[in-house]
Structure formats: structure tokens, C-alpha cells
Chains A and B, each alone.
Chain A
């Protein structure tokens, strides 16, 4: 073992965030993403996907990683993966967390998750962090 401050079973405190439409707009501008599903509710309705803008996948990744970053320095994150399982809409309250599943001499692996306001799992993934 090294100086890793994480152990198997360690649960990162869950983080909650309400998905603000203004932040979806910011993200569309940041990556010049013209997809109207992220900022125009009428386009979402036309696509038959509801009536509120959809959160960008990259923003959902950020929400999930935030549970880890509240505990671990960002520079210690060496790898992360995410699979998107469901949609996150503007005004949803999402909750994200993680649990350490494996610790080796040079890394800890964390299982990430995020649920939407209905309790549906919308994202799973992993994060790997290096020792402090």
C-alpha cells in the first residue's frame, strides 16, 4: 500500500445539482455545439423527446466527476469513463456519487453513478485516481 487515502468501500458524499438552462447554454457556446436539443425546448418537442432542453453529455460527466473532485484533487484523476444511460433535462435535480471498488499500489478505482430527479440511473462510469 501507498499513501492512498481511499479504501475499498469508501463512499464519496453524493452531490446534488439542479440543471440550470443557462448553464446548458454556456456549454453549447463553449464547444460551439449547434444541436438545438440542448437549448431549444421546441426542438426537443419536435423530436418527441419532451419539452425541456437536454443536458449535454459532457456536462453530465462533470456532474458525476464532481463527487470525486469534492474529495480528491483534480490532478490526481488519471482516467475516467462514462456511459450515458438516460436523458437529463433542464430543471432536473441530479444526484451523483461514487464508491471505491479497488485499491492497488498506484491507484484507486471508483465506480461512478448519477441519477435523475425520478431516481432513474442516467450515467455509470469509473474514475481512477493516483495516490496523494
Chain B
């Protein structure tokens, strides 16, 4: 898989909206997920803040490996590099949320581990009335080319 030119990736991808969608977490999914996280007890009906990431990934309208395909990278080597999350109001189970997102940046860095592409995307979560959370996540794609 050859590494595409960075400038053409930037021109094509930065600002690209994601389809978006919605999610709702029924109580049983909240229970199972909190168990999987080994979460401390959380007030009934309130979701662990990590659900901002889980829910928005679920509701962004594209599968998790979409970004790898966009940048012509091997999806099985992609890793999450960094996240920033803001919670304006705690998410709740049994409540419908919509997700709006876009690709916000792509950078290429060269280091000891070779060439790495960093792709940032932003996801915003809304309930029926207002924005309740937002996140910026960075996926890192190692390139097979050597530095």
C-alpha cells in the first residue's frame, strides 16, 4: 500500500463532514459497558463519560475503519493517539442523541518509527435541545515506507 501525497490528502479530507447519525444507550448496554470498564458506581441513569467517545463513534455514520480507507492505510495498524473530550452535560441512558462530525486535520511526522500520519476528527453530540458533549480524536496510521 503506497503512501499518498500529504497535500492531496489535506486538500481532500480536511473539513470533510462525516455522515453523522444517532445513538441511544439502553440500560442493559450501560450496565454491561460499565462492568467492562470496571467502573465505580455511577448515579443511576448517568453514563460513564467515556460513552461520549463510544456513543459518538457509534453514531458518526461511518465504521471505525473508514478513516484508514480514506488515507489508504492498513486499518489493522491504526491506533488511537490522543483524545480531548468536553462534557457539557452528562449523557444518560434511554435518551436519544445525534452526532455531527468532520475531519479537522491531517499531519505527517517522521521519527524513529518511520512515517506516521495523524488524522484528527471532531464529533459533537446533541440531545433534542442542545450540544451536550464534543470530542477531538486522533488516529495514528503507521506507513510502511521508511523514513
Does chain A bind chain B?
Answer: yes
Q: Evaluate contact between B82 and A83: CB separation under 8 angstroms.
A: yes
A sample of 12 cross-chain residue pairs with beta-carbon separation below 8 angstroms, ordered by A number, consists of A30-B29, A32-B58, A34-B64, A35-B64, A58-B54, A65-B50, A66-B37, A66-B39, A74-B90, A78-B86, A80-B83, A84-B80
A43 to B79, CA, bound (A): 15
Q: Across the interface, do A61 and B83 meet the contact criterion of CB distance under 8 Å?
A: yes
A79 touches B87 (CB 8 A): yes
* Inter-chain pairs besides A30-B29, A74-B46, A79-B85, 17 sampled, C-beta below 8 Å: A17-B38, A30-B33, A31-B54, A31-B64, A32-B63, A34-B65, A35-B65, A43-B76, A57-B80, A58-B53, A62-B37, A62-B38, A66-B38, A73-B43, A75-B43, A81-B83, A84-B82
Q: Name the contact of A69 in the complex, choosing from B40, B82, B83 (C-beta under 8 A).
A: B40
Looking at the assembled complex, report how far the CB atom of B130 sits from the nearest CB atom of chain A, in whole angstroms.
15
Q: Are B80 and A58 in contact (CB under 8 A)?
A: yes
Size range of the chain A interface in the assembly? 35 or more
* Complex Cα–Cα for A35 and B38 (A): 22
Say yes or no: is A37 at the interface (Cβ < 8 Å to chain B).
Answer: yes
Top 9 nearest A-B pairs (CB, nearest first) are A57-B80, A62-B37, A75-B90, A23-B36, A26-B36, A70-B40, A62-B50, A17-B38, A33-B64
**A residues within 8 A CB of B64?**
31-35
**Chain B residues in 8 Å Cβ range of A77:** 49, 87, 90
Instruction: Tell me which residues across on chain B come within 8 A of A23, comparing CB atoms.
Output: 35-38
Binding site for B on A (CB under 8 A): 15, 17, 23, 26-27, 30-37, 43, 47, 56-59, 61-63, 65-66, 69-70, 73-75, 77-84
B77 within 8 A of A: yes
Residues of A within 8 A of B1 (CB): none
- CB atoms of A80 and B38 under 8 A apart: no
Tell me which of B38, B48, B63, B81 has the highest count of chain A C-beta atoms within 10 A of its own C-beta.
B38
Q: Is B32 an interface residue (CB 8 A)?
A: yes
User: Which of A17, A30, A82, A84 touches B54 (beta carbons < 8 Å)?
Assistant: A30
Residues of chain A within 8 A of B58, CB atoms compared: 30-32
Q: Are B83 and A59 touching (Cβ within 8 A)? A: no
Nearest CB on A from B78, distance (A): 7
- B window 62-110: CB within 8 A of A: 63-65, 75-90
A57 to B90: give the CA distance in the assembly, Å. Answer: 21
Closest chain A residue, CB of each to CB of B83: A82
B57 interfacial contact with A, CB 8 Å: yes
